[in-house]
């Protein structure tokens, strides 16, 4: 049982010694999948989550697969986090905790700067007074903004010019983390960091132990599947007049377990003094209409669609060049077929129609 890794690419289970890892946002979608993988690789895991958008039941499920020390708190609460880093002898931080809705960030920018940027900076200040030697930051392709067709596929050298508060809130943390890493190097302190710029994450644990549950749900794949399951009347396509082949937005969809593989590979590879930025995606763009077609194939349901206006802050196309992470870490996405990604999300939804409830 457990997440199965393609060891022809790299062996994440044996390439790193057991670590004491703090996972912020470990009760959320990506964080819970990361905790599961860390436990199965033999690491000691501590989770900090406010449960504002995470799930207490996810922690209960994870605890059945290993020793998880859970603290309900904000990762920026120094009074909680600093003693935890010391008492649990944390050497590695995987920082997932963040709000991640582009549209919401446009409507409530201060909420995003306070949570995504402010809490992250306070977390780094606690790390500065601890023995943490590795920090893996959950960043986003939204830091690239609207790069233009001449920059596709997007490489890590693409200028970072975010066009929404979500992307800006993440870029500020990237910049602070790099500055902190440079200071650590100047002091001769053991510290390394990686900034993983995610593209669109989808799918679920193939064994349906943890999965994607948001309230409200704003991610395209589960929204389409909810419509297929009769949990919503239709799917609204926001913008059908983009300069793309079928007029809808194009994104790079990476399976959540592949994304987790990238984190464990980064943990194993980064060395003191290192400050890395890696795109994490498949390198292939998929349109909204293509997602709908995949959902219809997987579920056998003709999902009803409504057309809506463009949403503020949505670039037409975002998909990555994953060659750097492939060359540096030997990582490639195992789930290359869109239907395979959608099928794991559908299996989760079928087995957990009410999420964790």
225 found inside a domain: no
* CATH value at residue 149: 3.40.50.720
3-state SS assignment for residue 91: coil
243 found inside a domain: no
Report the distance separating Cα 220 and Cα 287, nearest Å. Answer: 11
Report the distance separating Cα 112 and Cα 166, nearest Å. Answer: 6
Please give the helix or strand (H or E) that residue 238 lies within, else none. Answer: strand 235-238
136 found inside a domain: yes
Torsion of CA 279, 169, 160, 97, to 10 degrees: -10
Please give the pLDDT value at position 148. 86
Please give the pLDDT value at position 41. 96
Please give the pLDDT value at position 208. 97
Residue span of the structural domain in which 110 resides: 20-202+253-281
Report the distance separating Cα 315 and Cα 310, nearest Å. Answer: 10
Judged on CB neighbours under 10 Å (0-12, 13-18, 19+), 302 is exposed
86 found inside a domain: yes
| Greatest Cα-to-Cα distance within the chain, rounded to the nearest angstrom | 60
74 found inside a domain: yes
216 preceded by cis ω (within 30°)?
yes
Please give the pLDDT value at position 2. 29
331 found inside a domain: no
DSSP code, position 113: I
Q: Tell me the two tokens of residue 246.
A: 């079928």
Q: What angle, 0 to 180 degrees and rounded to 10, lies between the N-to-C axes of helices 29-40 and 256-269?
A: 50
117 found inside a domain: yes
128 found inside a domain: yes
What are the CA-CA distances from residue 102 to residues 191, 218, 311 (Å)?
Answer: 31, 9, 9
Catalogue the active-site residues: 166
Report the distance separating Cα 339 and Cα 31, nearest Å. Answer: 23
Q: Tell me the two tokens of residue 178.
A: 């790099």
Please give the pLDDT value at position 315. 83
According to DSSP, the residues that pair with 297 across neighbouring strands are: none
DSSP code, position 158: S
DSSP code, position 143: G
Please give the pLDDT value at position 302. 97
357 residues of the chain, pLDDT tens digit each:
222 333 333 344 444 479 999 999 999 999 999 999 999 999 999 999 999 999 999 999 999 999 999 999 999 999 999 999 999 999 999 999 999 998 899 999 999 999 999 999 999 999 999 999 999 999 999 999 989 889 999 999 999 999 999 999 999 999 999 999 999 999 999 999 999 999 999 999 999 999 999 988 999 999 999 999 999 999 999 999 999 999 999 999 999 999 999 999 999 999 999 999 999 999 999 999 999 999 999 999 999 999 999 987 788 999 999 999 999 999 999 999 999 999 999 999 999 999 998
- 297 alpha carbon, distance to own chain's centre: 26
Contact 214, 53 (CB under 8 A): yes
Could you give the number of structural domains in the chain? 1
């Amino acid at each position: 049982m457990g997440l199965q890794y393609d060891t022809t690419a790299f062996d994440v289970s044996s390439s790193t010694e057991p670590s004491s890892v703090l996972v912020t946002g470990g009760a959320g979608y990506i964080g819970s999948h990361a905790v599961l993988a860390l436990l199965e690789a033999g690491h000691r895991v501590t989770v900090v989550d406010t449960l504002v958008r995470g799930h207490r039941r996810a922690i209960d499920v994870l605890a059945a697969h290993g020793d998880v020390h859970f603290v309900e708190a904000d990762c920026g609460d120094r009074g909680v986090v600093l003693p935890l880093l010391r008492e649990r002898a944390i050497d590695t931080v995987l920082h997932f905790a963040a709000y991640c809705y582009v549209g919401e960030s446009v409507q409530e920018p201060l909420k995003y700067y306070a949570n995504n940027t402010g809490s992250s900076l306070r977390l780094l200040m606690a790390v500065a007074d601890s023995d943490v030697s590795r920090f893996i930051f959950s960043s986003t392709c939204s830091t690239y903004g609207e790069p233009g067709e001449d920059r596709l596929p997007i490489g890590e050298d693409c200028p970072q010019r975010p066009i929404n508060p979500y992307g800006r809130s993440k870029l500020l943390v990237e910049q602070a983390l790099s500055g902190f890493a440079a200071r650590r190097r100047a002091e001769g302190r053991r510290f390394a960091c990686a900034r993983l710029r995610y593209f669109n994450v989808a799918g679920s644990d193939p064994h349906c132990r943890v999965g994607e549950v948001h309230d409200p749900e704003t991610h395209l794949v589960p929204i389409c599947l909810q419509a297929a399951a009769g949990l919503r009347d239709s799917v609204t396509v926001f913008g059908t007049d983009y300069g793309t082949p079928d007029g809808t937005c194009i994104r790079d969809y990476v399976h959540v377990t592949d994304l987790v593989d990238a984190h464990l590979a980064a943990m194993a590879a980064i060395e003191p003094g290192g400050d890395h930025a890696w795109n994490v995606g498949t390198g292939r763009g998929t349109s909204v209409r293509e997602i709908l077609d995949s959902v219809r194939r997987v579920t056998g349901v003709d999902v009803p669609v409504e057309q809506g206006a463009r949403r503020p802050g949505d670039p037409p196309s975002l998909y990555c060049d994953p060659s750097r992470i492939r060359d540096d870490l030997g990582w490639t996405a195992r789930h290359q077929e869109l239907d395979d990604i959608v099928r794991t999300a559908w299996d989760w939804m079928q087995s957990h129609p009410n999420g964790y409830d």
